[in-house]
C-alpha cells in the first residue's frame, strides 16, 4: 500500500486515540538486534550518541505527558527505514535530519521512512513529537505512579514505554532531560542539574549526564519532593530525593550513603559517576532499582518496622554496587544479566556479614543447597530461560541473585582472594562507561589467574547442575522439587 500523503496523515492524526498513531507504511516490521531473551529489542543500522528528551507534566499522573524526543545518532549501515522502540503513546510527527518523515508502527516498534536513503557512517538526527502515557498494567514497567507524581522503572525493556529510542543496554548514550512541571512540583533526573527556568506557573528543570547511560537506567522523578544534599568521598555530590513530608523520618537511612560509598570504593575503586543518591518514591513498589546516579526505592522499604537495620543497609549496598556493575559496565546482552545481579548480591552479602547479617559462607552454602533447583526452574546463570508473555520481570529470579553470587564465591575459592580482588578492580576499570560480555569476564579472569578457566566457567555458568564447590567438598545440593 502506498504512503499516505502528509495532508491526509495530518487529518487522521487529528482524530487519533491515545495509542501509537501511524501512517500506513508498506509492511512496517519490528527488527530488533537479535537478543536471545528479547529478540525484537534494540534496532540495527545506527548507534545512538545522545538523547535530548523534553517532558511536560500537566499536574496529574493519570494524564499523558507531552514530550519531544531528539536523538542524535550515526548510521552503521545504509538506512532508508529507521526503527525505534516505542510502545505507549501517540506520535504526532517525526523529522529526520530536519525533514518531515512518514512513520508507521508494528507491535512495539515505531518505523520511520527516511526522506532519503542514508549511507553508513553519516549523522542521523531524529525528532519525535509524542505523548508519554503513564497508564499501564501488569509488569510492563516504565512510569511508576507515586502518591504525588511519577518516577521511572525501565528495567528490563520498558524505557520504550516512556520515550522512543534504541532500548537495549548495548547502545549507551548521553542524556539530557528537560522536565516542565507546575511550579509547586519538583523534577529531578539522572545526572547533574543544568538549568532551571520559570515561565508563568510552570518550571522547566534541565539535567544532563556526564557519562553514557543505557535506556533501562534512565530516571526522572516528578513530585512534591525535597532534594537533600551532602558530600561523599573526594567531594562527590550526593543528592537524595524524598517525599517532602518524610524527609526527617528518612534521614537516618539517607545519611549512611557517604560511608557506603567509601566502603564500595575500598572494594573496587573510585565511584564511576558524577553524583549519587537515593530516590524514595511514595509508591507500593516491591523492588529497588539501580537507575544511574539515583537509585529508586519504595518508601515502605525504609519505614517497614519488620526489616532489620543490617538488611536495609545491605540492600542499599546492592543498588550502590550496581553503579559499577550494570550501570558503568553494562551487559552487552540480557543473557549477561548475571554479571549485574551476581556482583551486586556479592557485595550485598559481604556488607551484611560486616554489619550484623549472617556470614558470607553461611549464605553461600545455603545458595549452593538451593542452586540445582534454581537452575532447573530458570536455567543456569549465563544462559537463563526466557520469560512468558506478560511476565518479563520473572527474568529476575533467584539464580540471577545468590545463584550468580555463588559463581563469584566459587571463583574466589578457585583463584584465591588476591587474584579475585584484582579481577574485580580491573573489570570495572577496563570496561568503564561501556558494555561487556560474559566471555569478556571469563577471558579476563583467566588472564589474571594465569591459567585457562574455561572448564571451570562452563560448569558454573552453563551447567544444568551446580559443580562441586572448590574447598568445600562437603557442600551438597538439595534435589529440585
What DSSP line would sit under 236-282, residue for residue? -EEEEEEEGGGHHHHHHHHTTHHHHHHHHHHHH-S--SS-B-EEEES
Provide the whole-model pTM.
0.93
At 21 the pLDDT is 43
What pLDDT is stored for residue 27 in this prediction? Answer: 73
Distance CA 105, CA 64 (A): 19
Q: Tell me which residue of 123, 264, 239, 124 sits closest to 189, measured CA to CA.
A: 239
Q: What is the pLDDT along the chain (481 residues), one digit of tens a residue?
A: 333 333 333 333 333 333 444 444 557 787 899 999 999 999 999 999 999 999 999 999 999 999 999 999 999 999 999 999 999 899 999 999 999 999 999 899 999 999 999 999 999 999 999 999 998 654 578 999 999 999 999 999 899 999 999 999 999 999 999 999 999 999 999 999 999 999 999 999 999 999 999 999 999 999 999 999 999 999 999 999 999 999 999 999 999 999 999 999 999 999 999 999 999 999 989 899 999 999 999 999 999 889 999 999 999 999 999 999 999 999 999 999 999 999 999 999 999 999 999 999 999 999 999 999 999 999 999 999 998 877 777 899 999 999 999 999 999 999 999 999 999 999 999 999 999 999 999 999 999 999 999 999 999 999 999 999 999 999 999 887 6
Give the Cα separation of 442 and 461 in Å (integer). Answer: 10
- Note whether 24 and 4 are within 8 A (CB): yes
Strands (E), 119-191: 123-132, 142-145, 150-153, 174-182, 186-189
Q: Are 88 and 161 in contact (CB under 8 A)?
A: yes
Q: Are 39 and 32 in contact (CB under 8 A)?
A: yes
**C-alpha distances out from residue 18 to 11, 135, 216, 397, Å:** 15, 11, 24, 34
Cα angle for residues 133, 179, 227 (degrees, 5° grid): 115
Sheet with 278-281: strands ordered across:
225-231, 237-243, 278-281, 295-298
Smallest Cα–Cα separation from 128: which of 78, 174, 82? Answer: 82
What pLDDT score does 141 carry?
85
Q: What's phi and psi for 134, nearest 5 deg?
A: -80, 0
Angstrom distance (rounded) from CA 429 to CA 445: 14
| CB-count burial class (<10 Å; 0-12, 13-18, 19+) for 402 | buried
Burial class (CB in 10 A: 0-12, 13-18, 19+), 359: exposed
Close Cβ partners of 370 (under 8 Å, ≥ 6 residues apart): 398, 402, 403, 477, 478
Strands 65-75 and 123-132: antiparallel
What's the CA gap between 3 and 12, in Å, rounded? 13
Alpha helices in 299-359 (DSSP H): 299-303, 309-322, 337-354
Largest CA distance in the chain: 75
Q: Which long-range contacts (CB under 8 A, 24 or more apart) does 360-364 make?
A: 360/409, 363/402, 364/402, 364/405, 364/406, 364/409
CA 259 to chain centre: 24
Task: List the grid coordinates of 160.
Answer: 520504550
H/E stretch holding 402 reads: helix 402-415
Integer Cα distance of 190 and 299 in angstroms: 19
Amino acid at each position: 500500500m502506498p504512503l499516505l500523503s502528509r495532508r491526509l496523515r495530518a487529518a487522521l492524526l487529528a482524530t487519533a486515540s491515545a495509542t501509537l498513531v501511524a501512517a500506513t507504511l508498506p509492511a512496517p516490521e519490528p527488527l530488533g538486534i537479535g537478543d536471545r531473551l528479547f529478540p525484537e529489542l534494540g534496532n540495527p543500522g545506527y548507534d545512538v550518541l545522545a538523547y535530548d528528551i523534553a517532558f511536560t507534566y500537566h499536574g496529574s499522573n493519570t494524564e499523558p505527558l507531552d514530550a519531544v524526543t531528539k536523538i542524535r545518532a550515526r548510521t552503521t549501515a545504509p538506512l532508508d527505514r529507521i526503527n525505534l522502540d516505542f510502545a505507549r503513546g501517540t506520535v504526532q510527527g517525526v523529522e529526520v535530519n530536519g525533514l518531515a518523515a512518514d512513520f508507521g508502527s508494528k507491535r512495539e516498534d515505531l518505523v520511520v521512512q527516511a526522506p532519503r536513503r542514508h549511507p553508513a557512517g553519516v549523522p542521523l538526527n531524529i525528532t519525535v513529537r509524542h505523548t508519554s502515557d503513564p497508564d499501564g498494567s501488569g509488569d510492563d514497567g516504565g512510569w511508576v505512579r507515586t502518591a504525588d507524581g511519577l518516577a521511572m522503572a525501565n528495567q528490563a525493556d520498558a524505557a520504550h514505554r516512556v520515550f522512543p529510542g534504541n532500548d537495549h543496554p548495548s547502545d549507551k548514550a548521553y542524556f539530557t532531560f528537560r522536565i516542565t512541571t507546575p511550579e509547586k512540583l519538583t523534577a529531578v533526573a539522572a545526572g547533574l542539574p543544568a538549568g532551571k527556568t520559570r515561565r508563568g506557573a510552570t518550571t522547566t528543570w534541565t539535567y544532563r549526564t556526564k557519562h553514557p547511560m543505557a535506556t533501562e537506567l534512565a530516571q526522572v522523578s516528578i513530585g512534591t519532593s525535597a532534594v537533600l544534599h551532602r558530600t561523599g568521598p573526594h567531594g562527590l555530590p550526593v543528592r537524595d530525593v524524598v517525599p517532602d513530608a518524610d524527609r526527617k523520618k528518612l534521614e537516618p537511612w539517607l545519611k549512611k550513603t557517604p560511608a557506603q560509598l567509601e566502603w564500595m570504593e575500598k572494594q573496587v575503586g573510585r565511584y564511576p559517576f558524577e553524583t549519587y543518591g537515593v530516590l524514595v518514591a511514595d509508591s507500593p513498589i516491591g523492588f529497588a532499582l539501580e537507575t544511574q546516579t539515583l537509585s529508586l526505592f519504595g518508601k515502605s522499604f525504609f519505614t517497614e518496622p519488620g526489616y532489620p537495620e543490617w538488611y536495609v543497609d545491605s540492600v542499599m549496598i546492592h543498588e550502590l554496587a550496581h553503579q559499577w556493575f550494570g550501570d558503568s559496565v553494562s551487559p552487552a546482552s540480557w543473557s549477561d544479566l548475571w554479571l549485574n545481579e551476581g556482583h551486586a548480591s556479592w557485595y550485598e552479602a559481604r556488607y551484611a556479614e560486616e554489619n550484623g547479617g549472617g556470614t558470607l559462607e553461611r549464605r553461600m552454602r545455603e545458595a549452593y543447597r538451593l542452586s540445582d533447583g534454581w537452575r532447573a526452574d530458570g536455567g543456569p546463570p549465563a544462559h537463563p530461560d526466557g520469560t512468558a508473555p506478560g511476565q518479563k520481570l520473572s527474568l529476575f529470579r533467584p539464580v540471577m541473585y545468590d545463584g550468580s553470587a555463588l559463581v563469584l564465591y566459587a571463583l574466589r575459592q578457585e583463584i584465591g582472594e588476591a587474584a579475585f580482588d584484582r579481577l574485580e578492580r580491573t573489570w570495572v576499570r577496563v570496561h568503564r562507561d561501556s558494555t561487556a560480555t560474559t566471555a569478556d569476564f571469563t577471558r579476563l579472569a583467566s588472564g589474571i589467574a594465569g591459567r585457562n578457566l574455561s572448564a571451570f566457567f562452563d560448569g558454573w555458568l552453563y551447567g544444568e547442575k551446580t559443580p562441586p564447590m572448590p574447598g568445600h567438598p562437603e557442600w551438597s545440593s538439595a534435589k529440585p522439587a
